[in-house]
Amino acid sequence: MFNKILIANRGEIALRVIRACKEMGVKSLAVYSVADKEALHTRVADGAICIGPAKSSDSYLNITSIISSMEVADAEAVHPGYGFLAENAAFAEACEKCGIKFIGPTSAVMKLMGNKIQAKKLAEELKVPVLQWSNSALATEKDALEVSKKIGFPVLIKAAAGGGGRGMKLVHTQAALAGAFNMARMEAIAAFGDGEVFIEKYCELPRHIEIQIMADEHGNVIHLGERECSIQRRHQKILEESPSMAVDPKLRHKMGEAAVRLAKAINYTNAGTVEFLLDKNKNFYFMEMNTRIQVEHPVTEMVTGTDIVKEQIRIAGGQRLSLKQKDVTFKGHSIECRVNAEDPRTFVPCPGKITELVIPGGLGVRIETALYCGYTVLPYYDNLLAKVVVHAQTRGEAIARMVRTLEEFHIGGIKTNIPLHLKILKDHDFIAGNIDIDFLSRFT
């Protein structure tokens, strides 16, 4: 096993990884920006190195600075968490070249899955269902029109280098297509330096369901079931749960098997997530693969009793998966609420000093946070304050447990979206499990 791991991240996910390291007897090395000198991850790790100014591009995204820190402090492996460098194939490649173990898949696999056209082609070859699409990148307006007419409106224009909903354009009519196509291409060049776009049939009011997979470096791949992630706003997930009300054991098996098939075909290693849309008729379609640990991984941990982060570290150390597919069982129901520093009505972020803090607890409650009383929430980074995760035997009990937990949670000095969560948790459609990706926009 590794002697020392560098955690190339901050906030709750950095703490999550540091805790796993400590329990495994692995030394943890934090990196921090000048603004994060007093942050909890900086203080709790076995060591910490300052990697630059507050701005992410100068610190948490500074590949040179992070790799130098590894050399200086003699760390053998790096955990990227989520965001920042987690899906940066150039960073993974730099690690490979420097003899540093990147805790995640290889740079080649990250590059492959980073291109949504290649990923979709691969899924299609493997008979993993996909929505009708252009089958390749589109060169001209004329091609775009031809394909769209064949598929039928509405269509979505997506960037090959996009993902997570970035750079998508919904087109309802033939008249609007040319403008949207050119706009999508220009925006893709500006955002990703790659103007390749493709067209897909628009799926109306689907659910966003994702499958967690784990793969070791000996060819073993398993799935840990699904997460229901439909409650989102502008592609920012707000509340996630497992299992999904829409997924029965048979569908779970089919989606899990499809995700495993995809992972095996590319010799995927470490933790990954295969994203699907599930339509009203319970047909599922591959969207993309995320090659990182995800924010919402705890709900999967709660229902399967696995420690995904420890498993990631073990896998990167060359060990075999600690369980086989037949050992994976699903127990009870878990919900995660992302508590953000924001105005609950306008969603405008509101950083500032935490003047009072009461963190809830009790049976079946897990709080993932790097907050402490007196800490100042910084404007430079994302506004996630805490993930409140509950586990109970049934969904109804999990909802009741989440309500009482959020009511106990007191964060003084800044505004949070806890009131929004409480409103969702009391909504009749949510309680009935009648949700889709537009739930929140209808709701607020």
Q: Which of residues 304-323 bind ligand MV4 (CB under 6 A)?
A: none
Cα–Cα distance between 115 and 122 in angstroms, integer?
A: 11
What is the x/- site pattern for ligand MV4, positions 182-201, by CB under 6 A?
A: ------------------xx
Q: Output the six-digit token pair for 238.
A: 């707000």
The type of residue at 57 is S
Element (H, E) at 212: strand 207-215
CB of 225 to ligand MV4, least distance (A): 19
Q: Measured from the CB atom, is 232 or 294 closer to ligand MV4?
A: 232
Cα–Cα distance between 331 and 41 in angstroms, integer?
A: 31
- Closest CA relative to residue 133, chosen from 286, 291, 290, 289: 286
Q: Measured from the CB atom, is 137 or 350 closer to ligand MV4?
A: 137
CB of 54 to ligand MV4, least distance (A): 29
CB of 23 to ligand MV4, least distance (A): 33
Q: Output the six-digit token pair for 369.
A: 């946070």
CB of 208 to ligand MV4, least distance (A): 4
Q: Is the dihedral of CA 197, 203, 205, 208 positive or negative?
A: negative
Judged by DSSP in three states, 228 sits in strand
Contact at 8 Å (CB) between 273 and 289? yes
Q: Measured from the CB atom, is 288 or 368 closer to ligand MV4?
A: 288
**Structure letter (DSSP) for residue 342:** B
Instruction: Rule CB under 6 A: say whether 61 interacts with ligand MV4.
Output: no
Instruction: Rule CB under 6 A: say whether 202 interacts with ligand MV4.
Output: yes
Q: Which of 196, 210, 216, 275 binds ligand MV4 (CB under 6 A)?
A: 275
Q: Which of 10, 16, 185, 292 is catalytic?
A: 292
Instruction: Rule CB under 6 A: say whether 277 interacts with ligand MV4.
Output: yes
Judged by DSSP in three states, 95 sits in helix
CB of 241 to ligand MV4, least distance (A): 15
Instruction: Rule CB under 6 A: say whether 240 interacts with ligand MV4.
Output: no
Give CA 419 to chain center in angstroms: 24
**Structure letter (DSSP) for residue 146:** H
Residues touching ligand MV4, count (CB under 6 A): 17
Instruction: Rule CB under 6 A: say whether 239 interacts with ligand MV4.
Output: no
The type of residue at 405 is T
Other C-beta atoms closer than 10 Å to the C-beta of 225 total 22
DSSP-assigned letters across all residues of 176-194: HHHHHHHHHHHHHHHHHS-
Q: Which of 287, 302, 308, 337 binds ligand MV4 (CB under 6 A)?
A: 287
Q: Output the six-digit token pair for 50.
A: 């300052």
Instruction: Rule CB under 6 A: say whether 36 interacts with ligand MV4.
Output: no
Q: Which of 152, 164, 379, 433 binds ligand MV4 (CB under 6 A)?
A: 164
Segment near ligand MV4 (CB under 6 A); pick from 190-198, 203-211, 243-251, 258-266: 203-211
Cα–Cα distance between 62 and 313 in angstroms, integer?
A: 23
CB of 440 to ligand MV4, least distance (A): 9
Q: Is 292 a catalytic residue?
A: yes
Q: Measured from the CB atom, is 275 or 368 closer to ligand MV4?
A: 275
Q: Which of residues 131-160 bind ligand MV4 (CB under 6 A)?
A: 131, 156
189's CB contacts (< 8 A; 6+ apart) are 195
Other C-beta atoms closer than 10 Å to the C-beta of 264 total 15
Instruction: Rule CB under 6 A: say whether 288 interacts with ligand MV4.
Output: yes
CB of 74 to ligand MV4, least distance (A): 39
Cα–Cα distance between 331 and 436 in angstroms, integer?
A: 24
- Please state whether 45 falls in left (phi above 0), alpha (psi between -120 and 50) or beta: beta
Instruction: Rule CB under 6 A: say whether 165 interacts with ligand MV4.
Output: yes
CB of 207 to ligand MV4, least distance (A): 9
Q: Which of 232, 270, 291, 312 binds ligand MV4 (CB under 6 A)?
A: 232
**Structure letter (DSSP) for residue 353:** E
Q: Which of residues 366-425 bind ligand MV4 (CB under 6 A)?
A: none
**356 DSSP β-pair partners:** 412
Q: Measured from the CB atom, is 164 or 318 closer to ligand MV4?
A: 164
CB of 388 to ligand MV4, least distance (A): 22
Q: CA dist 437 to 92, 207, 386, Å?
A: 32, 6, 23
- Helices within 62-162 (DSSP H only): 63-73, 89-97, 107-114, 116-125, 141-151
- Binding interface with ligand MV4 (CB under 6 A): 131, 156, 164-165, 200-203, 206, 208, 232, 235, 275, 277, 287-288, 437
Catalytic positions are: 292
